[in-house]
Amino acid sequence: MPPKVNVDMYGRVNVAAKSSVEFEYLIGMVPSDVVLFDAGTEDMAESGVTILPRHYSIFVGTKDGEIQLKPYEYDPHRIVVTTYKGVIISIDSIG
């Protein structure tokens, strides 16, 4: 489904982005086990492999308590996560 596009009273376009609550199913998974949409196949989806929605990617923002350098550019499809011993323990933000 395409994102909803709203126009505010000043004529600016606001796109309703997904929230971090929608990605809670990633908690407890290893980031390398999650497949990007472009790399996924129907066979993978049928076998139960976790495939991210189109354009989304995972960025490890905090790894074992150590903050990682985040790219400067804003990406509304970047899922920032915290990992401990290689396992996702929280979804920090989207973007």
Per-residue pLDDT tens over the stretch 13-39: 776 667 778 889 999 999 999 999 999
State the average pLDDT over residues 60-88.
89
Q: Distance between CA 52 and CA 58 in Å, rounded?
A: 9
- Which pTM value belongs to this model? 0.76
HSE-up of residue 54 (Cα within 13 Å, Cβ side): 3
Q: How many residues does the chain have?
A: 95
Question: Tell me, what's the pLDDT at 91?
Answer: 92
> In the predicted model, is pLDDT for residue 84 greater than 90?
yes
Contact 79, 23 (CB under 8 A): yes
